[in-house]
Structure 1
Amino acid sequence: MKKINLFFLPSRNITLTIPLVLTVGFIAGLFWDTGVLKNYLLTATVLMIYPTMIGFKIKEIVDLSHTRLLLAASVINFVLVPALAYILGVLFLLGDPQLFAGLAIASLLPTSNMTIAFTHFGKGNVPAAVKLTVLSLVAGSLLAPWYLLVMVGGYIHIDLLAVLKNISIVVFLPLFLGVFTYHLLLKKYSQEQFEKSVKPWLPAVTAWGMVYMLFTGISTNARLIVSQPGLLLSSLLVWVVFYFVNYFISIKAGRLFFNRKDSVTLVFGTVLRNLAISIGLAAASFGVTAAFMVSLAFLFQGQSAAWFIRLNDKYKIFPETGRHMLKTRQAK
């Protein structure tokens, strides 16, 4: 039983696991050369993403319900957020283009399983969150190479074919394996048995993969951070501004155009990035420094989402009928 509890520990205590791994990894990197860990990043990435794809429903993409919400989220995810990342990168990260690349990748891959989970916790529109997660994953994966070429191609060499290859390995290979695995599992288990006996293990596997990514990213950059402390400070500042502005845009759009449930979905469908895939793609395409930049976002993303739910419950950030408020204002 103790071994099982240890296995589930990272996924069930993610807010404690992340700073702990970053601290231990940083200390380890100061005393030992952990560069050999980089050789297994791609394999670890595939194993990390694969469990998240088990149960993935491709048919959600062709369902045309919630079109208005999906359109608004797509404009934020693929126009406003990349523009924000580009501005922040030019202002703060030109000194290290790999950090810029890490920020750009994270900005281009919105939504994850966290989107669905936090939408549920925040009493939002869960079916729309599922559809938004599926759509954003596919669209982000297809658009990312071309966006990267435009956003950071002038500051760092972009091997477009290599990025496309890495996306195929990091996103579409686990997607194919996940859909195939889910099909096989449903031959052995009922949907209820799958939800009860199999599904709880999946985030635990992903969490351990994330631990490997975080440890590798921070430990291999530890000496660089010590020699250039401004590197860490500027990176943290960029993420603070990134998430603050992202929340502001999404909350404003939600209050103006949507009811409370859809607004909650809009926030978590645009603010939360797919950091698991982002860190793997960053490591595979640009190296551990880019992956390190993505790893710092873990310090803000989960905690900020949890605090948003608390603040929304306490202060009623979203009224029940946002779009009716807009009509009332226009009538006046």
Structure 2
Amino acid sequence: MLNVFFTCTGFINRHVIKLLVGVICFSAWFGYYYPGVGQRLQPFSPACLFVMLYPMMIGLEFGELRQALAKLKVITLAIGVNFTISPLLAYFLAKTFLNAYPDFAVGLILIGTVPCAGMVITWTGMSRGSIPVALLVTTFSYLIGIFLIPLWMTLLAGKYVPIDPLQMMQTVITIIVLPMVLGTITRFFLLKKYGWDLFRQIKPNFPALASLGMYVLFFISLSAQAQQLIKHPDYLLKLVIPALFFYPLLFTLSAGLSRLLSLDYQDMAAVSFSIAGKNLAISLAIAVLFFSPLTVVVVAIMPLVQVIFMASYYKLSHRIQTLWSQLPRKQ
């Protein structure tokens, strides 16, 4: 039975984006012909949100936080860009390209405001970047995001739709802190009962479990809005154009600032993925709970563009590492 479980989760982890595209297409088709199902399933959205976030929180290594003192400059750079330049860039692009579409503008600003996702640790590792740095940035970003997500959304997205910052902060605390606490407790008992060896075997399966909640939530959200999307294919073009500016600018900015601080390739790669790898689960949770279905559509489309750039970085990582090592570094 355990082998079957590992096989299924391994398949999901290897094909997470292909499955996401399949879910999006199926949801659009299903929602077009059966438009009432998505609305009737929406009360189950909070349960799906929990399934998305809880498994990822089990794998967070809080004991690694003590390493932050040795990498303070790198951590500060990544978190600083994540919670200052990234939201402002998203707002500028939303105002430039989506000003006539408030729901879309809010979605883009939300993507720019949320912290990095746990998947950046995987991308960083595959690209031979510093995994401890990516881990630390991810962990700190979750905690800082509790306060800064409501602040930025009120200041920037509040220009398009009314936002209650206190209610949003309460929601973000519930979204992040509750799964984090329960995940930490679960991790403690797993380690106590089974030890590190078995925990390391099952840890890679947590993202797959989180993906299942994400797929169901996508189905509920998109099927409820499928008819409007299919009748307006121009929506896709309007969303892709700012996305094609957003991610290259974040990657370029992270590399430029890393260069100014004379970071080595490992730290630069971790910073780049931590800045550009936005958290789909948190943005989707906030979009579903606070904003219109059209805002959820933005959150659904942007990760597909995001993963293209992250995969491209990974494919070019050997060349990037070689070029980075050849650049003269400040003493």
TM-score, normalised to structure 2, is: 0.91
Structure 1 residues 88 and 317 mapped into 2: Cα distance closer, same or farther (>3 Å)? Answer: farther
**Counterpart check, 1:251 vs 2:251:** no
Match of 1:313 in 2: 318
Q: Does 1:100 align with 2:102?
A: no
- Structure 2 residue matching 1:319: 3-state secondary structure: helix
Cα deviation, residue 101, structure 1: 2.1
1:171, distance to aligned residue in structure 2 (A) = 0.9
The one-character-per-residue Cα deviations of 1:163-221 (angstroms, maximum 9, x if unpaired) are 1221122111101110111111112111111111x323312210111111222333222
Task: Quote the residue 2:14 is aligned against.
Answer: 12
- Equivalent-residue separation in structure 2 for 1:91 and 1:114 (angstroms): 30
Unaligned runs of 5+ in 1: 328-332
Distance in 2 (alpha carbons) for counterparts of 1:217 and 1:304: 25
Output one character per residue of 1:69-98: Cα deviation in whole Å (capped at 9) or x when no partner: 112112211111111100111122233322
Q: Deviations over 1:45-65 (max 9, x none)?
A: 012100000032334445322
The answer to whether the 8 Å contact 1:216/1:288 transfers is no
Partner of 1:186: 191
Task: Show the counterpart of 2:208.
Answer: 204
Cα distance, 1:111 vs structure 2: 1.6
Tell me if 1:217 matches 2:182.
Answer: no
2:133 aligned partner: 128
RMSD over aligned CA atoms reads 2.1
State the SS of the aligned residue for 1:205. Answer: helix
Paired residue type of 2:59: G
CA deviations on 1:262-302 (whole Å, 9 max, x unpaired) are 11111111110111121112111214322221111221222
- Change in CA separation of 1:282 and 1:251 when aligned onto 2, cut-off 3 Å: same
Question: Structure 2 matches for 1:1-332, cutoff 5 A?
Answer: 4=5, 5-6=7-8, 8-33=10-35, 34-61=38-65, 63-196=68-201, 198-257=202-261, 258-316=263-321, 318-320=323-325, 324-326=328-330
Distance 1:159 1:222 in 2: 28
Gaps of 5+ in 2: none
Shift of 1:227: 3.0
| Other structure's SS at 2:70 match | coil
Q: Do 1:69 and 1:262's aligned partners in 2 also have CA atoms closer than 8 Å? A: yes
The aligned counterpart of 1:330 is none
Structure 1 residues 151 and 145: CA distance shift in structure 2, 3 A: same
Residue 69 of structure 2 aligns to a residue whose secondary structure is coil
8 Å CA contact 1:110–1:136 kept in 2: the answer is: yes
* Equivalent position amino acid for 1:29 in 2: G
CA offsets 1:2-34 (integer angstroms, 9 cap, x no match)? 964445533320121121111111111111122
Checking the alignment, whether the CA contact within 8 Å between 1:123 and 1:261 is kept in structure 2 is: yes
SS in 2 for 1:85: helix
The CA deviation at 1:99 is 2.1
Separation in structure 2 between the aligned mates of residue 317 and residue 37 of structure 1, nearest angstrom: 50
Which shows bigger deviation, 310-319 or 225-234? 310-319
Letter in 1 for 2:238: S
Counterparts of 1:57 and 1:136, CA distance in 2: 14
Moved more, 161-170 or 309-318: 309-318
Q: Is the 8 A contact 1:162 1:285 kept in 2?
A: no
Q: With the length of structure 1 as denominator, give the TM-score of the two structures.
A: 0.91
For 2:11 and 2:157, locate their aligned partners in 1 and report how far apart those are by CA, in whole Å.
Answer: 37
Once the two structures are aligned, what percentage of the paired residues are identical? 26
User: 1: CA distance between counterparts of 2:216 and 2:115?
Assistant: 22
Looking at structure 2, the residues matched to 152 and 286 of structure 1 have their Cα atoms a distance apart, in angstroms, of 11
Give, in angstroms, the shift of residue 155 of structure 1: 1.4
